[in-house]
Amino acid sequence: AQTVTQSQPEMSVQEAETVTLSCTYDTSESNYYLFWYKQPPSRQMILVIRQEAYKQQNATENRFSVNFQKAAKSFSLKISDSQLGDTAMYFCAFTDTQGAQKLVFGQGTRLTINP
């Protein structure tokens, strides 16, 4: 079974700093998708970024980028120039390309951006 692990329950940084959230996963599949979701206090899950495992290039979306290391099964999220609106729970998630079309989530990291 696939598992996703986020080892940082909470993180806190000052506004405008750069912060990196860690995620590791375990799978025997060779092709899969990885995601970072943001859940602000409104509780609405928002897709931040998506990475396809067969693509070597790390995904980037504006201030958000990932460091995808397939051999190490690591998928970290870097937030540059952090903003107060980035305060949220962040979840790393995995889905394979075969079989059950479900998302497997990590435990989550609560990120606080301080003014």
Partner 1 sequence: DVKVTQSSRYLVKRTGEKVFLECVQDMDHENMFWYRQDPGLGLRLIYFSYDVKMKEKGDIPEGYSVSREKKERFSLILESASTNQTSMYLCASSPHRGRQANYGYTFGSGTRLTVV
* Sequence-distant (≥ 6) Cβ neighbours of residue 56 within 8 angstroms: none
Show the binding pattern over residues 70-89: x = contacts partner 1 (CB under 8 A), - = does not: --------------------
Residue 39's closest CA among 114, 110, 113, 115?
110
Residue 106 C-beta: closest distance to partner 1, Å: 5
Query: Sign of dihedral through CA atoms 15, 20, 9, 56?
Result: positive
Asked whether position 57 contacts partner 1 by CB under 8 A, the answer is: no
What the block records as the tokens of 53 is 């495992």
User: What minimum distance in Å lies between the beta carbon of 50 and partner 1?
Assistant: 7
Whole-angstrom Cα distance, residue 115 to residue 113?
Answer: 7
Closest distance between partner 1 and the C-beta of residue 100, in Å? 7
Contact residues: partner 1, CB under 8 A: 4, 6, 9, 33, 42-45, 47, 50, 91, 95, 97, 100-108
